[in-house]
Structure 1
Amino acid sequence: MKIVIIGDGKVGHKLTAQLSDEGYDVVLIDQNEGKLKEALNRLDIFCITGDGANADIQRQADVPHADLVIACASTDELNMLSCLLAKRLGAKHTIARVRNPVYYKQMDLLKEDLRLSMAVNPEFTLSNEIARVLLFPDTSKVETFVKGRVELVEFPVRENSRLDGLTLAEVYRKFQIKILVCAIKRGNDVFIPDGEFVLHSGDKLHIAAAHKDLEAFFAALGKRTNKIKNVIICGGGRVSFYLGSQLIKTGMRVKIIEQNYEKCENLCEMLPDATIIHGDATDHDLLIEEGIERADALVALTGMDEENIIMALFAKIKNVPKIIAKVNEDSRAQMVEGLGIDSIVSAKSATADAILSYVRARQQSVESANIETMYRLVNDRVEALEFIIHKESEYTNVPLKDLKIMRNNLIACIGRKGGIIIPGGEDHMEVGDSVVVVTMGRKINSLRDILL
């Protein structure tokens, strides 16, 4: 599959690295020759220096024969123009990164005229991810499958938890709730567990279940977190705007602290129900004055990773129940996890996952089951993929106990006719099902790839 990526920024570079690593034929276009040389030294790709909205540059990149063109340069206008030009030249599919809230709101009207296959808004995608965690505060990360009916959550096992010392088989017997632990991170190790796996405090569990079953499970643990009502958001960028809009609709009280006066004025107009504070959120005295000790959650969303980390650690000292920090640099994100901040988010990772889902779906669209959704978990070491089965095959209508599934692969749940099945050995897959698979160690493009 031939893919052309326009723009070697944060999103473009992460996508280029992941797609190249998975063996795709990738061409990267950017005007900065120095950045391209660095990418060329690290990755197995072809690079072209120039303007991605220039037809001659696109022809040099062989866009007329490309299966997919992804435009994630610095401006929305450039991305949309680049995609329109790519389609005119003969590219089969195009994806544009569109960040401006005004453009993105009208994307349904523009998409057909621009001949876009997909438009991705990193800030909106990230705000959705944060909102899910705030609505489900027991967790540190929440991903959704089967049109929102299944949730895959990251849940840390605390000290003195009722789970500490139990095998998974004992957990399922004791609680009698339809959940499935799909992956476990312990220190630097990751496991796709079986029933004999013994849980310990400090483990991070990835649990798949319907929302009501997850709520019942957390209630049964006896440490149910109170619902979040008061949220402080540090930083007044686009993610904060989208997030504030979503949280206010759910009835939460939102306070946004932003240093730039002009941004504060804009936020006052766009979010009249939020409290907007003009000030420096890294000032600990200001945070105390604005009620950090009474807040149910603090979300650090400034443009600087270091500032977000400092604010998150201060919130931890002040015993804020829920802390979320935006950390874009992967190495810093891993370091912060070790400091006890459970919820680390990144716009580039959320965007890359959305685009990679589309790429995988296009690659195996002739298969009997298409990829609908894909998320990368545990520092990209585990993948959770949702397949929709379109036609009969060797794995349909066969009891799961009779299917020989490769090690480190797990069928986490099956969505069927509006219902959710947490599968046992007697269950089976059939045409029309949505099937969520969790895998570690190798890329899979088809349900056939998990079978021996």
Structure 2
Amino acid sequence: MIPLKHAVIVGANNVSIEVARMLADKYEVRIVDSNEDACNKAYKTLKSAAMVYKGDPSDENVLNEVGVDRAELFLALSEDDKLNLEACRVAKRRGVPLIIARVNNRDMEGSFRELGVAIVNVESLVSDNIKNLVLSDVARVLTVDQSTNLAFAIVRIGENSPMVNRQIGYLVENYDITIPYVITAGGAIKPGNDYIIESGIELVIVGTLSNVERFINEVSTE
């Protein structure tokens, strides 16, 4: 059995619960929130799909206890932008390869971008027009920043995918996307353009929504 990857979610709210359900088949999901009632609700709703911790998500000691050092994915999804930003700073210092933050106030977007964090609004995160892609056999995470129309996806490469044995540079040039990370059994790495794609790996894809959707559709043609 392939071991589950680790994901940390900040905020125990309806959005977090929905995202945790989407990730549960591939990730060991851990949710952290300082509100006891919210934690109890998430625990009762998700049951074994996620572990729920009560604590301040902006506190580095709390995030260490939750397991931020092992996380391949960090999602700051609370309704408090300042809390999300502080939590993302901790995740960034700890070297989490993929950090995505919910931004409720557009005036805060610049702070997250300066940190190098992917940002989304809550509507795009779970909207119906991307939900099928999120739950598909190919793309297990897809979020869209509606202010820039940039999409962020984690895409699995199947055994019979037409992308097997292609170079990263070929995908970047032909689909007008960027691929900042490749996730292998050994963890996340930053690939060069000459990196050869193998089946079983996952690609972190960034590009316009139309280009990312086109790539996902063609990857799934197996």
Q: TM-score range by the shorter chain?
A: 0.5 to 0.7
With the length of structure 2 as denominator, give the TM-score of the two structures: 0.57
**Matched residue SS, 1:52:** coil
Which one of the candidate residues 79, 90, 103 is aligned to 1:85? 90
> 1:100–1:38: structure 2 CA closer, same or farther, 3 Å change rule?
closer
Q: Is the 8 A contact 2:11 2:76 kept in 1?
A: yes
For 1:9, the equivalent position in structure 2 comes to 13
For 2:65, the equivalent position in structure 1 comes to 60
**Residue 66 of structure 1: CA displacement?**
0.8
Cα distance per residue 1:307-338 (max 9 Å; x no partner):
xxxxxxxxxxxxxxxxxxxxxxxxxxxxxxxx
AA at the equivalent of 1:28: I
Which one of the candidate residues 135, 152, 172 is aligned to 1:358? 152
AA at the equivalent of 2:66: A
**Residue 36 of structure 1: CA displacement?**
2.5
Which one of the candidate residues 25, 30, 37 is aligned to 1:27? 30
Cα distance per residue 1:95-147 (max 9 Å; x no partner):
1111212223x35xx523x231x011236x49xx8xxxxxxxxxxx9x69xxx
AA at the equivalent of 2:40: K
Q: Is the 8 A contact 2:11 2:33 kept in 1?
A: yes
Q: Is the 8 A contact 2:142 2:154 kept in 1?
A: no
CA distance in 2 between counterparts of 1:24 and 1:81 reads 23
Q: Does 1:111 align with 2:113?
A: yes
For 1:332, the equivalent position in structure 2 comes to none
**Residue 53 of structure 1: CA displacement?**
0.3
Cα distance per residue 1:139-198 (max 9 Å; x no partner):
xx9x69xxxxxxxxxxxxxxxxxxxxxxxxxxxxxxxxxxxxxxxxxxxxxxxxxxxxxx
> 1:392–1:58: structure 2 CA closer, same or farther, 3 Å change rule?
closer
Alignment gaps of 5+ in structure 2 = 131-140, 145-150, 158-162, 178-194, 200-209
CA distance in 1 between counterparts of 2:57 and 2:32 reads 6
**Matched residue SS, 1:437:** helix
AA at the equivalent of 2:90: L
**Matched residue SS, 1:91:** coil
Q: Is the 8 A contact 1:65 1:90 kept in 2?
A: no
Q: Is the 8 A contact 2:60 2:90 kept in 1?
A: yes
Alignment gaps of 5+ in structure 1 = 130-140, 145-351, 373-389, 395-414, 417-433, 439-445
**Residue 47 of structure 1: CA displacement?**
1.4
CA distance in 2 between counterparts of 1:435 and 1:95 reads 21
CA distance in 2 between counterparts of 1:393 and 1:62 reads 29
Q: Is the 8 A contact 1:68 1:92 kept in 2?
A: yes
Q: Is the 8 A contact 2:9 2:76 kept in 1?
A: yes
Q: Is the 8 A contact 2:142 2:153 kept in 1?
A: no
Cα distance per residue 1:342-392 (max 9 Å; x no partner):
xxxxxxxxxx8517x73524x66x9657997xxxxxxxxxxxxxxxxx978
Q: Which has the higher contact order (CA 8 A, sep 6+)?
A: 2
With the length of structure 1 as denominator, give the TM-score of the two structures: 0.30
For 1:122, the equivalent position in structure 2 comes to 122
CA distance in 2 between counterparts of 1:392 and 1:46 reads 33
> Identity over the aligned pairs, expressed in percent?
24
Cα distance per residue 1:63-112 (max 9 Å; x no partner):
012111111112111111110111112322211111212223x35xx523
**Matched residue SS, 2:74:** strand
Cα distance per residue 1:383-433 (max 9 Å; x no partner):
xxxxxxx97899xxxxxxxxxxxxxxxxxxxx99xxxxxxxxxxxxxxxxx
CA distance in 1 between counterparts of 2:103 and 2:30 reads 21
How do 1:142-153 residues align onto structure 2 when only pairs under 5 Å count? none
CA distance in 2 between counterparts of 1:103 and 1:60 reads 28
The root-mean-square deviation of aligned C-alpha atoms, in Å, is 4.0
Aligned length: 159
